[in-house]
Structure 1
């Protein structure tokens, strides 16, 4: 049998195998509330003899109301003492047995590293299951795919696994790559050795060296860092577009940050139409997958051992805030997501905000972060407003933005405040003043609070817009030791912690 025929047969067999999961996905779509009820009470029963289970009376919980009353909503800082006990080798702290793996993540909102517990159940029944589901959904939507005839290019975090207290910690991607099944390993590039390299610049060179001669059919990663890799690959090979180098490329599976600001750049650099599928995952779990071709909504995955609750953002900062279950959510409202997981995170505030776009089935969009917003003047500006306004301004001025950040200019000496923005363009707008006006008007139309504060410049003046030097954000991230992986440019801040040093670098 020829190599091509072998590849085609392998592709057919794997496609058949992974599509078997579709029936189970359709089952939780039909019975979402029952599925979630089963997840919650299975986990309460499983963990009732842990330290956390005894403290909060898991064995006496028989209704959701009991659960809500007995178990507090927590942040990482609240839960950290329990995580530290588990990290130091204590069993049965918040999940039965020992937790041997921890995903180390350092968010932009807190300089201190977080150690997120990763149980064996979470690895198998959440993270790996989701990876298979992503392929299953894609294969079901595109029966003529050649996904397994060609290589998948993965771009994980700069990652090593460290041993400490007989437990391991590192980037989630390192933990996953270390434990991948063999059939995934033979269909992915670069090699495990290169994927697990830590130093970003050396890693980029090594990846380009390996992947430039591969037949890549799909790519997986964070849009910002994948763009850097693709640009380096073109520089190294001399090709004009990625499709010249990899003519069989058919899909980009992306997550971590919004794809909206990058779509135009990807269309240009790839040089042909491909499919784009979004995923929503984090060290804490895998939550949602785009289940329809061409959609910007994601299906909330309800049978991964994660029980979901939601706090309406209009009450998030009030003393009487209360989380609600999936059965009570409404369309179009901003919610902070609260998760209870099969790694022993109980009613944990992950820090993301979501909006429901459909209630049958439950589909969402990620709308922002609970700590990344501008509300210095009561305007309640979230990232989804900004990205929609930016899309409009770019379309009408032939511009393309690669990175940006925004922050308030506070009122001083009786002057109104403002929002200050730094945009890094890969294609400058025809007219920067017009770009600013369109951006401003779009924000007014999308956010009535912003519009009210902008009325006659009484509270907010017109936005202050700066054009960034090329590579400004890359260089700023590099100066903070935050290149690659899950590191992200903070898009919005309610203070000037980020924008002032960036403006200084741009001077």
Structure 2
């Protein structure tokens, strides 16, 4: 196995020079991608309808194609799911990634072409390993197995021919891995792709507890559920006692900051490493390439053409997007993509900030529809996650999950924010935690600070500390268990707050 580890490490690191090349030539790389996409799709139904044949510049592309939400592009996708071809992309689309997202209650189905699977998702996975091994040449990752917490996979119910499938993007990737890659992962595919989440966690724990697990990949929230079940099953106090060679956790989908202290408690080894990736149903976008920074390198040669809309302009009738050459550091942008699966000027729903421009690195700052702005305070997810992380640090707390929303103005009452927090370790005082949370939000967000001044518009937040498994039970009640489902962090209304508080009231009443 050490020889195999050395061979795989050498092969993967050959990619580094190509990554360095697109870092040095970002505009040329993106221009080539743009030209490839438009040329390849010119004879599709969408390409013909929008004159792709005569598009010669990005400016013309932006003039002809409006920015589209899922609702705008879904009629085309629905036709593809029923078996029609050459609609958005010329090659056959055999997979559809199912994503509930966190901004829409119903499922979304994102087309995944052969090109997107190979040249984006798989390429991103291999690059993640290349970047990691370049940072840590002493890695022994391939002397053991990688534990992947995937989603579910099933036939496409809308395709009468039965030739296409749908599922979480992690499931599509696992299902189609080559045999040699299947040999290096755990658990077996029949367990990994189960759709009943509670039974799946139980079987995963039993199937992996005796394996030599050297890496884990998954969403932090659901990974914690598995790790805690393994500790319960084994009677151990530390995952390092179960998997002594575990060296890295590759995570994504939600910010890791609020969970870092919990993972350090569960996995105490001081040399444990954490690597963030930005891999969504729509594509693989970023990889953390610096261990001492929490930003990610924007991957520019995966068949994705990027545009960015300043967040303050997103509600304009015709929001104007900019390319990489015109972005500004530290500014919130809604990300727009055109891809080798036939998504055209698609608004994916995430907001990002650029942290460097040489090379281009980003941080996910939130969701385009997940914020609190009931009083003009414009609190975004990034603010909330940083503030709750700081409050945990100041009070010795750690959390399992949280959500927040507005507490509206009433007769003789001022407004405020209301938080529901499930603690893994309680703070020294919930009151002190609340003051720390409020103080950090005021430091991070000048609009919030102005509204909080002398309690003129906003009063001190209200924090509800709820029992263990509250969010798990709430997600279960909504049929939202599984890796693709995420607890909404912020909402500009009280739908989530009232639903959770009502569930707690019903269970205690």
> Which TM-score bucket, shorter chain as reference?
over 0.9
Do residues 393 (structure 1) and 396 (structure 2) align? no
For 1:51, the equivalent position in structure 2 comes to 45
For 1:230, the equivalent position in structure 2 comes to 227
CA displacement at 1:105 relative to structure 2? 1.5
2:424 to 423, 426, 439: 426
Q: Distance in 1 between matches of 2:165 and 2:434?
A: 48
* Greater alpha carbon shift after TM alignment, 365-374 vs 178-187: 178-187
Instruction: Encode CA deviations 1:390-448: one digit per residue, 9 max, x unaligned.
Output: 12111111111111000001112253211000111111111211111111111111000
Give the TM-score taking structure 2 as reference length. 0.97
CA displacement at 1:294 relative to structure 2? 3.0
For 1:147, the equivalent position in structure 2 comes to 141
* Paired residues for 1:108-507 under 5 Å: 108-162=102-156, 164-166=159-161, 167-273=164-270, 274-507=272-505
Contact 1:200–1:484 under 8 Å retained in 2: yes
* Greater alpha carbon shift after TM alignment, 180-189 vs 314-323: 314-323
Q: Distance in 1 between matches of 2:237 and 2:460?
A: 40
For 1:4, the equivalent position in structure 2 comes to none
* Greater alpha carbon shift after TM alignment, 312-321 vs 285-294: 312-321
CA displacement at 1:283 relative to structure 2? 0.7
Contact 2:92–2:114 under 8 Å retained in 1: no
Instruction: Encode CA deviations 1:372-397: one digit per residue, 9 max, x unaligned.
Output: 10011111100111111112111111
SS of corresponding position for 2:141: coil
Q: Distance in 2 between matches of 1:14 and 1:277?
A: 19
2:15 to 21, 27, 30: 21
Aligned Cα root-mean-square deviation (Å): 1.1
Contact 1:404–1:424 under 8 Å retained in 2: yes
CA displacement at 1:501 relative to structure 2? 1.1
Contact 1:299–1:361 under 8 Å retained in 2: yes
Structure 1's unaligned 5+ residue stretches are 1-6
Q: Distance in 2 between matches of 1:360 and 1:477?
A: 41
CA displacement at 1:108 relative to structure 2? 2.9
Q: Distance in 2 between matches of 1:433 and 1:270?
A: 29
CA displacement at 1:85 relative to structure 2? 1.5
Instruction: Encode CA deviations 1:286-330: one digit per residue, 9 max, x unaligned.
Output: 000001123201000000000000110111122242111111100
Structure 2's unaligned 5+ residue stretches are none
* Greater alpha carbon shift after TM alignment, 169-178 vs 71-80: 169-178
Question: Following superposition, which runs of at least 4 residues in structure 1 exceed 6 angstroms of deviation?
Answer: none
CA displacement at 1:130 relative to structure 2? 0.5
CA displacement at 1:175 relative to structure 2? 1.6
For 2:91, the equivalent position in structure 1 comes to 97
Contact 2:91–2:113 under 8 Å retained in 1: no
CA displacement at 1:241 relative to structure 2? 0.3
CA displacement at 1:354 relative to structure 2? 0.4
Contact 1:289–1:300 under 8 Å retained in 2: yes
* Paired residues for 1:80-91 under 5 Å: 80-91=74-85
* Greater alpha carbon shift after TM alignment, 172-181 vs 261-270: 172-181
CA displacement at 1:183 relative to structure 2? 1.9
Q: Distance in 2 between matches of 1:373 and 1:481?
A: 24
Q: Distance in 2 between matches of 1:318 and 1:71?
A: 16
SS of corresponding position for 1:499: helix
SS of corresponding position for 1:249: coil
Contact 1:306–1:341 under 8 Å retained in 2: yes
Contact 2:370–2:490 under 8 Å retained in 1: yes
* Greater alpha carbon shift after TM alignment, 247-256 vs 383-392: 383-392
Q: Distance in 1 between matches of 2:457 and 2:31?
A: 47
Q: Distance in 1 between matches of 2:259 and 2:235?
A: 22
Contact 2:15–2:130 under 8 Å retained in 1: yes
Q: Distance in 2 between matches of 1:175 and 1:428?
A: 38
CA displacement at 1:162 relative to structure 2? 3.7
Contact 1:158–1:200 under 8 Å retained in 2: no
CA displacement at 1:362 relative to structure 2? 0.4
Contact 1:158–1:485 under 8 Å retained in 2: no
* Greater alpha carbon shift after TM alignment, 106-115 vs 22-31: 106-115
